[in-house]
Amino acid sequence: MRTLIATSNPVLLSYAQSLLADARMRSEIFDQHVSFIEGGIGAFPRRLVVADDDYEAARRLLIDADLEADLLKNEG
């Protein structure tokens, strides 16, 4: 699994995940339970991840949707 976006913005995560689902790419939100524990102060961003095989196509899809500024840079 590779991370596309790490953010505390639930609207951004939902939108990006919806775009990926529409393109039939499975994604997961990691760290959402940690964000509940920390009380919603935004100290621990949630991560949107996809399978390694979908990573490049998912990045292109989100860039085409004008979300390039929200993508992690040089994620390995």
Write out the residue range of the structural domain in which residue 59 sits. 2-70
Query: In this structure, what CATH number is given to the domain that contains residue 48?
Result: 3.30.70.790
Number of folded domains in the chain? 1
Neighbours of 70 (CB within 10 A): 19
The reply to whether 59 falls in a domain is: yes
The reply to whether 39 falls in a domain is: yes
Residue 53: helix, strand or coil by DSSP?
helix
The reply to whether 75 falls in a domain is: no
| For range 31-60, the mean pLDDT | 85
Residue 73 pLDDT class (50, 70, 90 cuts)? confident
What is the rounded CA–CA span in Å between residue 41 and residue 56? 32
In this structure, is the dihedral angle defined by the CA atoms of residues 56, 49, 10 and 22, taken in order, positive or negative? positive
The reply to whether 16 falls in a domain is: yes
The pTM for the full model equals 0.85
| For range 47-67, the mean pLDDT | 98
The reply to whether 50 falls in a domain is: yes
3-state percent helix, strand, coil for the chain, nearest multiple of 5: 45, 20, 35
